[in-house]
Amino acid sequence: MVLIESEKYIPIKEVFRLEEGSKASIRGWVYRYREFGDKAFIIVRDSSGIIQTVVEKKSDIIPELEKIGIEASLTLSGIVREDKRAPGGKEIRVEALKVVGPSHKFPITKDASPEFLLDVRHLWLRSRRMNAILKIRDTVFKAVHEYFRSQGYYEVHCPMFITAAVEGGATLFELDYVGKKRKVYLTQSSQFYLEALIFSLEKVYTIAPSFRAEKSRTRRHLTEFWHAEAEAAWTDMNDIIKVEEGLVTYVVKKALEERLEELEFLKRNIEMLENVKPPFYRISYDEAIEILKRKGVNVKWGEDLGADEERVLTMQFDKPIVLYGFPEEVKAFYHKNDPQRPEVTLAEDVLAPEGYGEIIGGGERISDEQELVNKILRFGLRPEDYEWYLDLRRYGSVPHSGFGLGMDRLVMWIAGLPHIVEAIPFPRTVRRVYP
């Protein structure tokens, strides 16, 4: 192994700022390799970018070149030259080169199928595509934290082992918990815990995994996804919609500011992202049903809207939609019913445009104990399973609202990806828990 003399090396991106004739030392991995006459052309990548390097096949370098295959790691130094044919217009004429970790027969070739790329995701993460997506994801996570903190929300952390369903039993993962004395599940949402925390901190948020045994295979469901959730005391549905709009707008703005290069590399339609400004369109569930019927979709009032319906609906709009006023039966039991119209709830979803659909689900919660008990019973659930949750309505209850935002879906939409598995480094789906 060579010595790690970090101060000597510069990120590849910075080489492009150096003048012709400067000396540069870089380290990274072989992205492409080809020999031509007495020269070898090595395109090297690091986390910041790629650059072409040219090596004269002189005797002292030949033994090193023999260790090179795609993805071999190396360090090199040389002189920066302008060359129009090189990507980015500059290249390095190599004077010294050392292979650090040889690589032979890297398994990913040009014609790899999407399924194979998932099998070797641990290696595919090195691709320029995944590198761009992961940088966008980093910006999205950072921006969500920044936004909540700028609005006075406290970050909190909730358990992943839980004992009662938040989102209904069908997607619960049951665990073989120590001693098996009672049923334990993986959390589907941190919402109930956030509701408890507002009585201390008033405005709280968390970003954590949620787990759902999703049986339907769609392009937007993972079994383990990253969930940004917020809850605020003294708020109604309209107050919380404003927070959601502010959050989504801020994240998109940050992505455009910090990750334009990556978005362009992914061929994202930038104009559609520039449209994302509040207020978003407000569409009632009733109106949505009418729009869908006019578009020839076979839906009836009272039915839930799935990915297909949302695709048709959101294709009609050039920025996100807030869809509100869902029938009681299509939303979870904790949603407050509209006092003016008890058959619908004060629940709302934010749908991303361009066919992407739901990225946020939120609304006002029931704050009255009896109203909550009645609804739990109406939903065929057992109030005794929700004892501590009912306590929150017994000791100084307040009106409150909150929402959950799927971080992977947000990344998928912002980056313009065709499938959610591309939005997270190691996707978990019903069919995949490897690598």
Give contact residues for ligand ATP (rule: CB under 6 A): 167, 212, 214, 221-222, 225, 227, 358-361, 404-406, 408-409
Q: Which is nearer to ligand ATP, 78 or 357 (CB)?
A: 357
Buried b (16+ CB within 10 A) or exposed e, 220-257: bbbbbbbbbbbbbbebebeebbebbbebbbbbbbbbbe
Q: Which is nearer to ligand ATP, 272 or 330 (CB)?
A: 330
CB of 193 to ligand ATP, least distance (A): 15
Which ranges of 208-342 would DSSP assign to H, the alpha helix? Answer: 237-258, 260-265, 270-274, 285-294, 307-314
Tokens 């004060």 sit on residue: 346
CA distance 322 to 352: 9
Q: Which is nearer to ligand ATP, 323 or 376 (CB)?
A: 323
Both tokens of 107, joined, read 């398994």
CB of 393 to ligand ATP, least distance (A): 21
Q: Which is nearer to ligand ATP, 265 or 317 (CB)?
A: 317
Q: Which is nearer to ligand ATP, 44 or 140 (CB)?
A: 140
CA nearest to 166, candidates 323, 381, 422 = 381
Hey, what amino acid is at 287?
A: E
What HEC string does 16-84 produce?
A: CCCCCCCEEEEEEEEEEEEEECCEEEEEEECCCCEEEEEEECCCCCHHHHCCCCCCCEEEEEEEEEECC
CB of 81 to ligand ATP, least distance (A): 48
Q: Which is nearer to ligand ATP, 27 or 212 (CB)?
A: 212
CB atoms within 10 A of CB 299: 18
Q: Which is nearer to ligand ATP, 40 or 405 (CB)?
A: 405
Q: Which is nearer to ligand ATP, 221 or 254 (CB)?
A: 221
CB of 230 to ligand ATP, least distance (A): 11
Both tokens of 295, joined, read 């578009």
CA distance 350 to 377: 28
CB of 326 to ligand ATP, least distance (A): 10
CB of 284 to ligand ATP, least distance (A): 17
Q: Which is nearer to ligand ATP, 71 or 349 (CB)?
A: 349
Q: Which is nearer to ligand ATP, 74 or 420 (CB)?
A: 420
CB of 177 to ligand ATP, least distance (A): 23
Q: Which is nearer to ligand ATP, 44 or 360 (CB)?
A: 360
What is each CA distance from 7 to 3, 302, 408, in whole angstroms? Answer: 11, 64, 36
Both tokens of 191, joined, read 């919402």
CB 163 within 8 A of CB 182: yes
CA nearest to 379, candidates 165, 161, 160, 162 = 165
DSSP lists the bridge partners of residue 55 as 40
CB of 85 to ligand ATP, least distance (A): 44
CB 240 within 8 A of CB 207: no
| Three-state DSSP class for residue 177 | coil
CB of 314 to ligand ATP, least distance (A): 13
CB of 298 to ligand ATP, least distance (A): 18
CB of 404 to ligand ATP, least distance (A): 3
CB of 378 to ligand ATP, least distance (A): 19
Taking only Cα atoms into account, the Rg of the chain, rounded to an integer number of angstroms, comes to: 26
Tokens 């069908």 sit on residue: 170
Both tokens of 215, joined, read 């049986």
CA-angle at 353, arms to 351 and 354, nearest 5°? 135
The CA-to-CA distance between both ends of the chain, in Å, stands at 28
Query: What are φ and ψ of residue 8, in 5° steps?
Result: -75, -30
Q: Which is nearer to ligand ATP, 92 or 407 (CB)?
A: 407
Hey, what amino acid is at 166?
A: V
